[in-house]
Chain A
Amino acid sequence: MSASNGSQAAEPAPGRGAVRDDPLVVLKGVNKHFGALHVLRDIDLTVHRGEVVVVIGPSGSGKSTLCRTINRLETFESGSIEIDGQALPEEGKALAQLRADVGMVFQSFNLFAHKTILENVTLGPTKVRRQRPAEARQRAMELLERVGVAHQAEKYPAQLSGGQQQRVAIARALAMEPKVMLFDEPTSALDPEMINEVLDVMTDLARDGMTMIVVTHEMGFARRAANRVVFMSDGQIVESAEPEQFFSNPQSARAKDFLGKILTH
């Protein structure tokens, strides 16, 4: 089943940037196993420049694996993944280079525990992009300002709340000036009162035209910011539709069942 067929030309909702008809992330027939477990089954997915795709689905359906495969934290067996027209290289320098173009935000933040907030954001630009330290610092402070944690720049991650840490993680990814950002359940590890501060930053990013693939069950965010919702189940993309259409009128039995479960509370 293909998800690449297009609902891309959706008219921009308030939180949405304009989508150009310009494929940025293209997955074709991607298959992956963990031992005997077939985690990704013939995944076809095209994400266009400026598009925001929300991935939703039951636990264990392969959403994290999909994200991790796109920047090759996981290998895959067959099919192809292209970022901006370039096939994912094998391990090595070329792969590191390509990863620098793909920002990733993890569920558990994964800030570098031994570095200050500022150093967390400048590490990539100075060591990977070879920016001068002063330049990297200035840019980092701008980004920290943007996500609202500039006043914590000299602290260590453990001294910040979860919501603040996740916003720093977003700034760290943005500092690399990525072409696309992947978010793997960025608010799932947060206390409820901190979820919105992170979603607000993400909504702003979407409005500014960042290409985003977001695994989340936050339907408010999906409605507000996504151009498209992709529903995954058992390693397959089962459904792909505009947010309103998906939430109000899911087509597949599996999507109906899933929405029934998450809407009851």
Chain B
Amino acid sequence: MLQRFDLLAAFWMTLQLAVLGAVGALVLGTVIAVMRVSPFSSLQFFARMYVTLIRNTPLTLILFFCVFGLMNAMGLRFGESRDTQNLFWGVVAIAVYHASFVAEALRSGINTVPVGQAEAARAIGMPFLPSLRHVIMPQAVRGSVAPVGNVMIALTKNTTVAATVGIAEAAATMKTMIEFYPNFLYFIFALVALGFVVLTLPTGIFFTWLSRKVAVQR
């Protein structure tokens, strides 16, 4: 059974979706969070709209829009094979969706930094971005690490949504395996669940360790 279905390859796909999606979500989420706290009201407005809109839209819908709308209907294809094209839009959907949660997690960290810190930075003549980089963000990560870690764990598990558009990741493969080997139902479940634990546990441990590390440094 395990020879017929390449579960390792499926988890490799899951891992790619998760890692690339996480990188995208962190970068995009940071940009949105920065816009949200910037002194420019148009950027603030855009960031607020983004978070409200994306956070309240189901991931499946965003994924369908990317794959059926942008890729198939509009022909926006990136990559050679069908698999890479699918992977690309899968990653985009996961990144776009989770960026809204990352942005909120970062903002809650920024809100723990007293306003006096930003005012002191402005008062010595620091423009917005340098004050964010040297004064606000280093203190904001302290309050952001744990919530960002939670988003990353949720993101890893949410990669299973990619099965709905035919990306052969772990959950999709699990479904076909069960169809062929209904007798091994519980075994297959357990195997895939274990696979996800193997992926998410280190993430959780890493973020717990990180939040301890940044918490004591003061």
Q: A91-B39, A106-B120, A110-B119 are in contact. Are A127 and B218 (CB under 8 A)?
A: no
Stretch at the interface among B16-24, B47-55, B130-138: B130-138
- Shortest Cβ distance from residue B37 to the other chain A in the assembled complex, whole angstroms: 14
Among candidates B119, B123, B125, residue contacting A97 with C-beta atoms closer than 8 Å: B125
- Cβ of B122: which chain A residues have Cβ within 8 Å of it? 73, 96, 99
How far is B119's CA from A93's CA once the two chains are assembled, in angstroms?
Answer: 16
Q: A123-B134, A156-B218, A158-B218 are in contact. Are A110 and B116 (CB under 8 A)?
A: yes
B138 and A124: CB pair below 8 A? Answer: no
- Shortest Cβ distance from residue B136 to the other chain A in the assembled complex, whole angstroms: 10
- Cβ of B62: which chain A residues have Cβ within 8 Å of it? none
How far is B40's CA from A92's CA once the two chains are assembled, in angstroms?
Answer: 11
- Encoded as 1 (CB less than 8 Å from any A CB) or 0, chain B from 111 to 128 comes to 000101101111111110
Q: By CB atoms of chain A within 10 A, which of B127, B139, B217 has the most?
A: B127
A111 interface hit (Cβ, 8 Å): yes
A104 and B123: CB pair below 8 A? Answer: yes
A112 and B125: CB pair below 8 A? Answer: no
A10 interface hit (Cβ, 8 Å): no
Q: A91-B39, A113-B139, A114-B139 are in contact. Are A173 and B117 (CB under 8 A)?
A: no
List A7-55 residues whose CB lies under 8 Å from chain B: none
- Cβ of B114: which chain A residues have Cβ within 8 Å of it? 110
Among candidates A106, A158, A173, residue contacting B119 with C-beta atoms closer than 8 Å: A106
Among candidates A114, A127, A169, A173, residue contacting B126 with C-beta atoms closer than 8 Å: A127
Band of interface residues on B: 20 to 34
- Cβ of B139: which chain A residues have Cβ within 8 Å of it? 113-114
Band of interface residues on A: 20 to 34
B117 and A96: CB pair below 8 A? Answer: no
B116 and A128: CB pair below 8 A? Answer: no
How far is B138's CA from A96's CA once the two chains are assembled, in angstroms?
Answer: 21
B124 and A73: CB pair below 8 A? Answer: no
How far is B124's CA from A132's CA once the two chains are assembled, in angstroms?
Answer: 17
- Shortest Cβ distance from residue A223 to the other chain B in the assembled complex, whole angstroms: 28
How far is B9's CA from A154's CA once the two chains are assembled, in angstroms?
Answer: 52
- Cβ of B135: which chain A residues have Cβ within 8 Å of it? 112, 123
- Encoded as 1 (CB less than 8 Å from any A CB) or 0, chain B from 48 to 83 comes to 000000000000000000000000000000000000
How far is B129's CA from A92's CA once the two chains are assembled, in angstroms?
Answer: 11
How far is B20's CA from A259's CA once the two chains are assembled, in angstroms?
Answer: 67
Q: By CB atoms of chain A within 10 A, which of B39, B217, B218 has the most?
A: B218
A100 interface hit (Cβ, 8 Å): yes
By beta carbon, the residue of chain B nearest A105 is B123
- Cβ of A97: which chain B residues have Cβ within 8 Å of it? 125
Q: A113-B218, A114-B218, A158-B218 are in contact. Are A128 and B124 (CB under 8 A)?
A: yes
- Shortest Cβ distance from residue B210 to the other chain A in the assembled complex, whole angstroms: 16
- Cβ of A114: which chain B residues have Cβ within 8 Å of it? 138-139, 217-218
By beta carbon, the residue of chain B nearest A126 is B134
A166 interface hit (Cβ, 8 Å): no
B123 and A127: CB pair below 8 A? Answer: no
B117 and A176: CB pair below 8 A? Answer: no
State the 3 A-B residue pairs at the shortest beta-carbon distance, nearest first.
Answer: A100-B125, A124-B124, A110-B120
Which of A's residues lie within 8 Å of B, judged by CB? Answer: 71, 73, 91-93, 96-104, 106, 108, 110-114, 123-124, 127-128, 156, 158, 169, 172-173, 176
Which of B's residues lie within 8 Å of A, judged by CB? Answer: 39, 114, 116-117, 119-127, 130, 134-135, 138-139, 217-218
14 A-B interface contacts by CB (under 8 A)? A91-B39, A96-B126, A99-B123, A104-B120, A110-B119, A110-B120, A113-B218, A114-B138, A114-B217, A128-B124, A169-B120, A173-B123, A176-B124, A176-B125
